[in-house]
Structure 1
């Protein structure tokens, strides 16, 4: 046995103790063990950690998300991790009730045996600044080759965030994915992180800073850093930042760089006005071939900005697959331009979210021309609360009927459907 997946089983401590007898057998060469969401308590977790410690050399991937690890169990696991014979490469401990004491012990163990770990998931732990400082000592070690670090929802304050950014800056070449959602980054911390991003040796591909209290100053520094080192980033999450038009203009300079190959950009709820939205659309239009997912919910797009975005969408080199424009104040004119652009380049879009736009029957009729195109392969369409009357609803239904095989999810809440729209062959 090399790979064993038992996610969601009711293992309990008793079952895990039996499994531990297998793991500590010298003939056991298991490499991948998944016990996510297995109702493991402290007793079972401690037994598991002890077994791994007695036979440490084979395990490469260990998944223990949603277990009740506690600090005591994590300390036992840390004894396994610090063993020179331990070659573990992936460890997931999401939502395991790890307190500062356990987090610090884990970080210390990894620091004493730093060269094997590639992916570390600690979402939802109570890291605190003190624990993150210990983790930072690992990250700055030249022997550390960690490629993916997830600290989403870890209550990291400015002090911890700054220490983390500083450590990554001193050892910049290995990290590929960094997840820091819900941390209290602040502009000061983000500026430190920006120094990492602009380092030519930094190869970071995924950066998630959703809901990190980033103001315009920090956002601008981040955008400037990306512009100076544009070729590696693939996924960028900045939901809930106070980007403002100024910050988005800086980001646009990064996006229009021919070396920029960003594929996924999330700017939901970033206080983007018409000026910023227009600059963003213009940048995408000048470098259209890489972006695959674009999230702009709660921005003040306006019809003018959406028309610029439409110029990007109708470009034959545009391969965008997911577009979210929920609650973006799009009027009938902008909606119609958007639908027309999709109609002229119909084959790539898979997910389209237009909740809260003022589509009107006229706009939906234009969208219907896109939907009935045989090259349209849209799978998910959200038109909730789009002021669609009977005429628009009927046109939409007719278009879907003429090209019925691709659509998987359809959202039409708050439309004025009427019985007529539901009558067969109407």
Structure 2
């Protein structure tokens, strides 16, 4: 029998984060297609990152800046296709145009021939790790937007470049699922790595206008090595800010002991309270009452 590992598994995140090569190039999301086009005929970007690290936020940031005319204005159309929604469309064959109409009905008002022949298009497939498609890059490929096929064939045809070779494709995924796309089809590999130690502090100072509160939260975060490491994930900074703001507003003590488990429980209680206020039309409920009401949800 192997020795028991007494160190929390999240501490491995710290080692992985520190071991990244410092010579890697920093690319902001708005420049991702520009970097792809540099001396590269392939049109695919593959971005990986752990859950909550900011992949979807990066996607939405690019789309928003593009829509506001601030970046990537050489692209005429950007289509966001989340795998979470694509999963609901696996029992029917579509042409590419029919698939896009499911997400963007307003395309009916555009002339189809001009859209695919004259426009520069970018497809963003968000969350490959959530895909339930039987992705197989050795299966048949499509080469026209009129032909119908299963959604997985449409996806692989776009990635391989047989369908709309001029189109740009950006795929995001958690690391474990990223290898579903063969590397020979990818022109640019990127990774979202989260906050540095300095950015963690910047997040809390920008989150709260009360400097005393932000300083107390930062101090508490640094007291727990596990919490400090986890806060390199932006969504965990948000959870930490939500929980500690609630705790510290009711407790003036400097040293407050909260384990990660206690923080998760406290965050869950806060979300339950918000849910009950919103949907049960009552301003306040005792938290013990929340637990009783939601007992079935926890046990299921």
| TM-score (norm. length: structure 2) | 0.29
| TM-score (norm. length: structure 1) | 0.22
> Greater relative contact order: 1 or 2 (C-alpha under 8 angstroms, separation 6 or more)?
2
Richer in helix (by share):
2
